[in-house]
Amino acid sequence: MATNNTRPTILTEDKPGHAYTAIKDLLFRRVLNPGQKLLYRDLCELVGLSKTPIINALNRLVYEGFVLYEPNRGYRIAPVDEKSISHLWEIRLELECINVRNAIKNFSRKNYATLQKKLKLMDEYNPEFTDRKKLELDMDMHMEIARMGGNKFSGRFLKTVLEHIHFMHRLERGVDRRKEQITHEHDKIIESIGNRDDAMAEKYMRTHIEALHHLMLDHLQELKQTEGNFWS
């Protein structure tokens, strides 16, 4: 396992929380890779904490699906495959449609103005290739729709699903193939929410999510050819 010469300084007593955040960040930055076995001594070195908070953090990540635990074999990063991707996108589709309906049902001009600002921030940040910041802005915009809807459970579940899709699977290169379509779909979703047209908002959201789902599956096949040891 790769190591990092700089270890974070833990200034608070929430060591399990720090361990959880740090390990997830290592995963999202590809210091840790899908399918990789996790060793306590390596994680202790990378995170700068003892074994106990590391174990607590790993168990939390197991609950969220980022890490797998196998008796007598230990922990490993969850592998990525077509089935897991499809399951995530199926859940995302339903959550996103619930959220747009609720956003219209509980519509307020103030919340809608905030949503428009999130969309503008994402549109104004236009790197040559989709990067982590772009994905974070995209995630923030979708989460704002959830916040408008007011269902804290759908928002909480969506956050975990988006973290899996955006950061764990690292399929952002595939997104670049339909940048213009994604921008158009986002615009129509937000416009439909503003018009309080739940049928059109859900239609555009379904089109958006289903197209991305198929794009990600196609891109996964290409990744397997070049990074086969990460994808199983």
Q: Mean pLDDT across the stretch 46-74?
A: 93
Q: Can you give the pLDDT at residue 168? A: 64
What strands lie across the sheet with 67-70, from one edge to the other?
37-38, 74-77, 67-70
Query: How many angstroms separate the CA atoms of 190 and 131, rounded?
Result: 23
Residue in the structure block whose two tokens are 């809807």: 149
Displacement of CA 50 from its chain's centroid (Å):
28
Q: Can you give the pLDDT at residue 229? A: 53
By the 10 Å C-beta count (0-12 exposed, 13-18 middle, 19+ buried), 214 is classed as: exposed
Classify 68 in phi/psi space as left (phi over 0), alpha (psi -120 to 50) or beta. beta
Say if pTM beats, i.e. exceeds, 0.85.
no
Residue 11: pLDDT band by 50, 70, 90 thresholds? very low
| Structure tokens belonging to residue 162 | 């988006």
Residue in the structure block whose two tokens are 């996964």: 220
Q: In this structure, which amino acid lies at residue 127?
A: P
| Structure tokens belonging to residue 72 | 């007598």
Q: Mean pLDDT across the stretch 111-122?
A: 97
Query: How many angstroms separate the CA atoms of 187 and 192, rounded?
Result: 9
Domains, the chain, ordered by start? 15-77 (1.10.10.10), 82-226 (1.20.120.530)
Q: Can you give the pLDDT at residue 5? A: 46
Q: Measuring CA to CA, which residue among 161, 113, 117, 151 is closest to residue 137?
A: 117
Q: Measuring CA to CA, which residue among 63, 66, 61 is closest to residue 79?
A: 66
Q: Measuring CA to CA, which residue among 31, 1, 18, 19 is closest to residue 168?
A: 31
Whether 231 has a pLDDT exceeding 70, the answer reads: no
Mean residue pLDDT across the chain: 87
Torsion of CA 222, 226, 39, 8, to 10 degrees: -90
pLDDT digits (tens, 9 = 90+) for 12-55: 567 878 999 999 889 888 888 888 999 999 999 999 999 999 99
| Structure tokens belonging to residue 102 | 């609720």
